[in-house]
Amino acid sequence: MPRAGQGKVAPVGRLSDLIAVGLLVRAFPPKLVDRVIADCGRTEQRSRLLPARLVVYFVLAMCLFSAESYCEVAQLLAHGMTWAGHAKGPLWVPTTAAISRARAKLGAEPLAALFATVAGSPSALASVPQQPRRRDDRARWRALGLDGTVFSVPDSAENRERFGAPVGNCPAQHAFPEVRVAALTDWASGTIARAVFGSRTLTDAALVDGLITDLTHGDLLLVDDCFTDRWPTTWAMGLNLLWRPHPRVQLPVRRTLDDGSYLTEITVAEQEAGRGAGRFTVRVITASAEGGTQPCRLLTTVLDHTASPARTLATLYHERGMLGRCLQDMRAHLTSEPRIVLRSRWPEGVEQELWGHLLIHHAVRMSLHSAASDIPSLRATGSP
């Protein structure tokens, strides 16, 4: 006899969906999920229809199959796990109400901890497959790019209180509360290394401070000119910066270097940098702008031109576009529409869902990266 909250047996799904669920479990093995759940204090005291591990996989499947309903996602997950050998016999599909209660009980912390384990910490990043070493000194750094986007969330009282009411006078454009997402993306693997969420009223500085905390000494941040108020903070942390300043900024030559770059000084105003205000020595690199005829200038705190030639840094900045597409790729997975509305009607559910999407993006990127590293490189031989 079915228990309360128990639905029906999951039907057979498409082979592609079964494979997707199997790859999901492979990317996040049950032992890893159980360890994260235990570390977060979410382990159950008794057996349930929806144990915490299964709820974690449901949230991931909900993000993977973002166009499907709760029941359809549960059916796909149930049969996929049975097909992949991670469940014995047919799994009962719980009701939508039971799933909602289980998600609320799990919370966002286990998903956030799982993301930190596989992607967010320097030790985790060091353990994932890396791109082949290139014949320059870019391998000296972990190059990180700043990325940001906005997601709409359902217009519930809880979401309004946490993320703010819809703004603007045009309902068609601002019909929902919005959550800001900022991320650091890793150049070597093309994955999102860490992320923070906040309301539309949260300042850029607050978001950035949440991202750069505990970064490793020597990490290289590829940023834009609006990052100026964080320069003293990042320099004090021992982080390196590479950015493109506004064209009108005056950068007089103080010392010319052998690679064609030169040293100059910039001033960070007191109102921008607080106690870190003052003059700072930076290096100016002149590079060719992509698709343009006029050269562009780059600024960097990496002053050693012998160890870090201008050409190397200019090429790295040129490739930064890859680092700025991660969140856009994640949005594209959800829908082709310009406005994306998440499912969750309560704030912790929104954060749980966002961590789920970040985990799915990580799994996809690492699968692609692993597959690409297995393909032998081609080299022209000069013969037919």
Which of 53, 77, 106 is at the close of a domain? 106
Domain shared by 115 and 102, yes or no: no
- Kindly state whether residue 382 falls inside one of the protein's structural domains: no
Pair 177, 201: CB distance under 8 Å: no
Domain shared by 115 and 93, yes or no: no
β-bridge mates for residue 92, sequence order? 9
Q: Which residues, including other chains, have CB under 8 Å from residue 16's CB and lie 6 or more apart?
A: none
Q: Which residues, including other chains, have CB under 8 Å from residue 148's CB and lie 6 or more apart?
A: 180, 181, 182, 183, 207, 327
Q: E strands, 153-219, where?
A: 178-186, 192-199
Domain shared by 208 and 354, yes or no: yes
Pair 84, 24: CB distance under 8 Å: no
Domain shared by 200 and 296, yes or no: yes
pTM above 0.75, yes or no: yes
- Kindly state whether residue 101 falls inside one of the protein's structural domains: yes
Mean pLDDT of 17-28: 90
With a cut of 70, say whether residue 212 has pLDDT above it. Answer: yes
Mean pLDDT of 195-203: 87
Domain shared by 219 and 272, yes or no: yes
Mean pLDDT of 186-212: 84
Over pLDDT 90: what percentage of the chain? 37
How open is the CA angle 201-154-363, to the nearest 5 degrees? 85
Q: pLDDT class for 156, splitting at 50, 70, 90?
A: very high
- Kindly state whether residue 197 falls inside one of the protein's structural domains: yes
Task: Give the tens place of pLDDT for each residue, 124-141.
Answer: 433 333 333 333 444 467
Domain that holds residue 353: 111-373
Domain shared by 137 and 60, yes or no: no
| DSSP notation for 62-104 | HHHTTTS-HHHHHHHHHHHHHHTTSSSSPPEEEPHHHHHHHHH
- Kindly state whether residue 133 falls inside one of the protein's structural domains: yes
Domain shared by 78 and 130, yes or no: no
- Kindly state whether residue 1 falls inside one of the protein's structural domains: no
Q: Residue 294 gets which letter from DSSP?
A: S
Domain shared by 61 and 171, yes or no: no
- Kindly state whether residue 380 falls inside one of the protein's structural domains: no
Q: pLDDT class for 55, splitting at 50, 70, 90?
A: very high
- Kindly state whether residue 383 falls inside one of the protein's structural domains: no
Cβ count near 96 (within 10 Å)? 14
Q: Which of 78-87, 213-222, 346-355 has the highest mean pLDDT?
A: 346-355
Greater confidence (291 vs 301) lies with: 301
Predicted confidence at residue 16, as pLDDT, reads 83
Instruction: Please give the tally of structural domains in the chain.
Output: 2
Q: pLDDT class for 80, splitting at 50, 70, 90?
A: confident
- Kindly state whether residue 381 falls inside one of the protein's structural domains: no
Domain shared by 135 and 233, yes or no: yes
Which of 79, 106, 133 is at the close of a domain? 106
Domain shared by 29 and 173, yes or no: no
Nearest partner of 55 among 83, 77, 72, judged by Cα: 77
Pair 251, 231: CB distance under 8 Å: no
Predicted confidence at residue 371, as pLDDT, reads 54
Which of 71, 106, 141 is at the close of a domain? 106
Domain shared by 61 and 89, yes or no: yes
Mean pLDDT of 205-228: 79
Domain shared by 11 and 42, yes or no: yes
